[in-house]
Amino acid sequence: MTGRLTALEAAQRIADGSLTSEALVRACLDRIGEREPVVQAWQHLDMDAALNMARHVDRFGSGPLKGIPIGVKDIIDTADMPTGYGSPLYETFRPPRDAACVALARQAGASVLGKTVTTEFAYFQPGKTRNPRDPGRTPGGSSSGSAAAVADGMVPLAFGTQTAGSIIRPASFCGCVGYKPTFGLIDRTGVRPFAESLDTVGFFASTVQDAAFFASAIAGRPDLHFTDEVFRLRIGLTRTHAWEAAEPATATALDEAAARLRATGLEVREVALPERWRGLLDAQKTIMAFEAARSHAPEMLTASDRLSVKLRELLEAGALIAPEDYDAAKALVAESRAGFSDVLDGLDVLLTPSAPGEAPEGLEATGDPVFNRMWTALGVPCISVPALTGPSGMPIGVQVVGRWGDDRRALAASAAIEQVVLSM
């Protein structure tokens, strides 16, 4: 992709006239033509339309993302492309308007290259996408196509969403940066709902700087797009209450990342999470199932036989959850969120696993979001930073978790961690 430029580099070259959007889109399409038969990251791609859009942007476009091609997860509405939600029920559906985040991206000058593969309604039934590092392994989910496309150099930026672990886990499995912002930072209008208390629009990029650049343009928050910010970073390393799920490769990656950070003089200290937080994993599951059963009531009423077994089982279980159990789960999340500042007392961010290990072999499942559910429930910003490779040569990320609403610090800390971990 024109030498695998970062999004920031490409934007700077487009701004100074040394690169056109058309040239960048052609480079992306060449890469897609080479790799898509193997990776299968795209649900909808119209090459002629993409080039026409790039030419239009070159002539009339403006904004921070001018000329940058992006991928859009196929549960996010696009007026000029089908939006199938990963389900045969909607394979010919054409939304009447763009989702808010897509409209904002276009307003900022981006060119929508195409729609990336999602799992069915962003749950666990896999789509066709394969891991770009090893086609015999899962790319993760549900934002499988976006993670794979960015990691493989098919597009510099892509939208994803997360309800449990759908950004952080595939970013770790595929070897790119995944950023789940603070809940509600990015408008969700026009994004197919799964669980309204959890659904979060986020981003994939090749670097943390690129993710921050993308997010700043969509959120209308220039402060998210930090430069080489320097501050005395204080990091808490937490293995969480789910540590028994960590494979040796993840344990090694987390310890090695911490050792590299300490070697540069940064403070890294172990943090034990409150015992009460042990219940957050189940609380997230309860909230997700209860809300999903309601958001998917139309499909269950009219076409349940066309839903996957995995999704139908979740929706049936969610319909049986007592309201008082749902309320108790929400109360635990609210209580824990209120106590988050005490956990981070004297620290800037937490460092924790992105996923249990390397991407699992096989394409029948998308991996376990056990290290993501709690943070998604709390709604705090999370960034997966590529760290090491595992014993099979597959990428393993580490997850940086920040305070609610303090996305700038979480991103700046992640960039500092990225620089240290990848440079040693």
Q: What is the 3-state secondary structure (H, E, C) of 126-195?
A: CCCCCECCECCECCCCCCHHHHHHHHCCCCCEEEEEECCCCCHHHHHHHCCEEEECCCCCCCCCCECCCC
| Residues present in the chain in total | 424
Q: Which amino acid is at 261?
A: L
- Which residues are designated catalytic? 73, 142, 166
Strands (DSSP E) found in 249-317? 267-270
Reduced to 3 states, what is the DSSP secondary structure of residue 230?
Answer: coil
Q: How far apart (Å, rounded) are the C-alpha atoms in residues 96 and 80?
A: 9
Order of strands, edge to edge, in the sheet holding 69-73?
42-45, 111-116, 69-73, 157-162, 200-205, 177-180, 382-389, 395-401, 349-353, 234-237, 267-270
Q: What number of CA atoms fall less than 13 Å from residue 399's CA on the CB side?
A: 33
Q: How many CB atoms lie within 10 A of CB 93?
A: 12
Sign of CA dihedral 256, 262, 263, 264: positive
Closest CA to 185 of 162, 216, 219, 208: 219
- Compute φ and ψ for 358, nearest 5 degrees: -65, 165
Closest CA to 280 of 371, 345, 357, 349: 371
Q: How far apart (Å, rounded) are the C-alpha atoms in residues 233 and 230?
A: 8
Reduced to 3 states, what is the DSSP secondary structure of residue 220?
Answer: coil
Structure tokens at 419: 């620089």
Sign of CA dihedral 79, 81, 87, 90: positive
Structure tokens at 176: 């790119």
Residue 124 near residue 109, CB atoms below 8 Å: no
